[in-house]
Amino acid sequence: MTICFGLPGKVYLVGAGPGSSKLLTLRALELLQSADVVFHDDLVSSEVVAMIPSRTAVYNVGKRCGIKKITQDEIHRRMISAARSGQTVVRLKGGDPLIFGRTGEEIRALRAARIEFEIVPGVTAATAAAAAAEITLTDRKHGSKLVLASNHRCAGRKGHTWPTDAANNATLVFYMPGRDFGPLCVELGANGVNEDTPCVLVSQAARPEQQVLRTSLRWLPTIAPLSAPSVLIIGAVAAEATGESTGNVDAGETFENLETQEATIALGEPDDVAVQ
């Protein structure tokens, strides 16, 4: 047990953004430059880690491809112990700390230990990927729902249950999309999502190696996955994405079709007017 005679330190749960140090918030940069100790995830880019002064103690506590370097409980224990000894602790996470970052568990541990903390948001992968593909995630022409989902499937864990209008009226963004898109396409198809629905896969958004690949739900299972980390955006908004296309997708043509469908609905045509 650490006995603290001075004031206890504070823990900052900070978003590092998707990769480029230019996408760090001013608050994140300020904290990285004044912290005594930084615990960061694997997803934090080397460009961001390089912004931390050499006098600071820096620990990579990430896990990659399921290989844990350190348990979540051990991360809690180390953060709490450093704060109790009066240190300023930065817990640095890729993207935004509140999106698929296990920050909820860290908040609960810090509260239980009565350690003061502050959360600093960051640019999440979904918006970085949308910027890379030059699309909006919400577009009033294509519905008004945005779903951030994880496609990470542990052994034995079932897939998602989607609302019946899933991607036909929403944009779905899959974090941790994996390498085999087949099961997801089957699941979405079974929930009524049209196989012509445009998709865009964005790898290493906001990093020098960034790649953007356009396709459709029909062709998605046939594409070679891009390097991790990547996110998969599914929905009408993806038709306007820039980037390479695969699977005989022509974004312009698909977009025209979607425009026709929109116009048909707006004019109140009968339900049996088929729009391909």
The binder of ligand SAH chosen from 21, 168, 197, 204 (CB under 6 A): 204
Pairing of strands 170-175, 145-150: parallel
Residue 41 annotated among the catalytic residues of the structure: yes
CB of 97 to ligand SAH, least distance (A): 6
Closest CA to 47 of 4, 17, 83: 17
Q: What is d(CA 82, CA 87) in angstroms, rounded to the nearest whole number? A: 6
Count Cβ atoms below 10 Å from residue 239 Cβ, excluding itself: 26
Range in contact with ligand SAH (rule: CB under 6 A) among 105-113, 124-132, 248-256, 263-271: 124-132
Contacts of 122 (CB under 8 A, 6+ apart): 14, 15, 16, 17, 23, 24, 25, 28, 93, 94, 95, 96, 97
Residue 93 annotated among the catalytic residues of the structure: no
Contacts of 198 (CB under 8 A, 6+ apart): 214, 215, 216, 234, 235, 236, 237, 238, 239, 241, 249, 251, 254
CB of 264 to ligand SAH, least distance (A): 35
Closest CA to 251 of 263, 266, 238: 238
Range in contact with ligand SAH (rule: CB under 6 A) among 71-79, 187-195, 201-209, 247-255: 201-209
Number of residues that bind ligand SAH (CB under 6 A): 24
Range in contact with ligand SAH (rule: CB under 6 A) among 57-65, 69-77, 89-97, 260-268: 89-97
Q: Quick one: which H or E segment has residue 67?
A: strand 67-68
The binder of ligand SAH chosen from 62, 198, 229, 235 (CB under 6 A): 229
CB of 274 to ligand SAH, least distance (A): 36
Tokens 């103690």 belong to 57
Pick 124 or 245: Cβ nearer ligand SAH: 124
181 lies in the binding site for ligand SAH (CB under 6 A):
no
Closest CA to 48 of 202, 207, 229, 227: 207
Q: Tell me the residue nearest to ligand SAH as measured from the CB.
A: 95
Pick 31 or 258: Cβ nearer ligand SAH: 31
For the chain, the distance separating the N- and C-terminal CA atoms, rounded to the nearest angstrom, is 67
Pick 62 or 198: Cβ nearer ligand SAH: 62
Site for ligand SAH in 44-83 (CB under 6 A): none
Q: What is d(CA 61, CA 74) in angstroms, rounded to the nearest whole number? A: 9
Pick 8 or 94: Cβ nearer ligand SAH: 94
The binder of ligand SAH chosen from 199, 202, 226, 237 (CB under 6 A): 202
96 lies in the binding site for ligand SAH (CB under 6 A):
yes
Known catalytic residues are 41, 63
Q: What residues make contact with ligand SAH under the rule CB under 6 A? A: 18-19, 43, 93-96, 99-101, 124-125, 128-129, 175-176, 202, 204-207, 229-231
